[in-house]
Amino acid sequence: MSDAARISVLLVALAVLLAAHVRRRGEEYEPDERPTTTRLLLEVLRSNPVAVVLTALYVVVVVVAESTGVLVAAAACAVVVAGSASRAQRVFRNRGIERDQFLMAASITFLVLMTLCGVWAMFEHLAEAPRISMVVPWGVGLVVWIGAETVLRRRAA
């Protein structure tokens, strides 16, 4: 798959995710008090900057990584760490159901990733399976985390 196709798929996935969040945020308001879609989108982006940061990071890495290597990797790591720290800070500032949902989703994601990494490590070591890129567990973890948070939020609603 070409770089342009990867970026396009990621941007479409982000757009679908943002549309779902905007729709859910709009349902929280009474019909006559509902803000405009643009305002709802801005609220979603302010409350979930990690998705925006990760998408921008991915685009930068795919487009520029071949030419600058280590510098781009260092900058990308800084953005990922800052985004994760920002998300954690906002979650731990809150008390109540949102915090519990985040911690439960993070726990589920950790257990799934550790299980999958352990299983694949056994296949690599004992069955001479090919090594996989670290992008695979990261992508799986992101999908599991988003799925777990979505399920937990719907269950709580």
Do 22 and 9 belong to one domain? yes
Please indicate, yes or no, whether residues 14 and 46 belong to a single structural domain of this protein.
Answer: yes
As a whole number, the mean pLDDT across the chain is 75
- What's residue 96's pLDDT? 81
| Co-location of 69 and 35 in the same domain | yes
pLDDT of residue 59: 61
pLDDT tens by residue, 134-143: 778 888 888 8
Q: Phi-psi bin for 128: left (phi > 0), alpha (psi -120 to 50), beta?
A: left
pLDDT of the residue at 1: 59
Same domain, residue pair 86 and 135:
no
On whether the CB atoms of residues 99 and 91 are closer than 8 A, the answer is yes
Do 113 and 146 sit in the same domain of this protein?
A: yes
Angle between helical axes of 97-126 and 135-156 (0-180°, round to 10)? 150
Dig out the tokens for 47 from the structure.
């409350």
Same domain assignment for residues 126 and 59: no
- Indicate whether 22 and 89 sit together in one domain: yes
Q: What is the mean pLDDT of residues 80-91?
A: 74
Which residues 6+ apart lie within 8 Å of 152 measured at CB? 101, 104, 105
User: Buried b vs exposed e over 3-23: b needs ≥16 C-beta within 10 Å?
Assistant: eeeeeeeeeeeeeebbeebbe
CA-based R_g, the chain, Å:
18
Tokens, residue 26: 């709009």
Same domain, 60 and 7: yes
Q: Are residues 81 and 134 in the same domain?
A: no
Question: pLDDT of 7-54, one tens digit each?
Answer: 666 666 766 776 777 777 778 888 788 777 777 766 766 666 666 666
Residues 72 and 102 in one domain: no
- pLDDT score at 83: 74
The whole domain housing 105 covers 95-157
- Mark whether 113 and 88 lie in a shared domain: no
Based on the fold, state whether residues 33 and 80 are members of the same structural domain. Answer: yes
Q: How many domains does the chain have?
A: 2
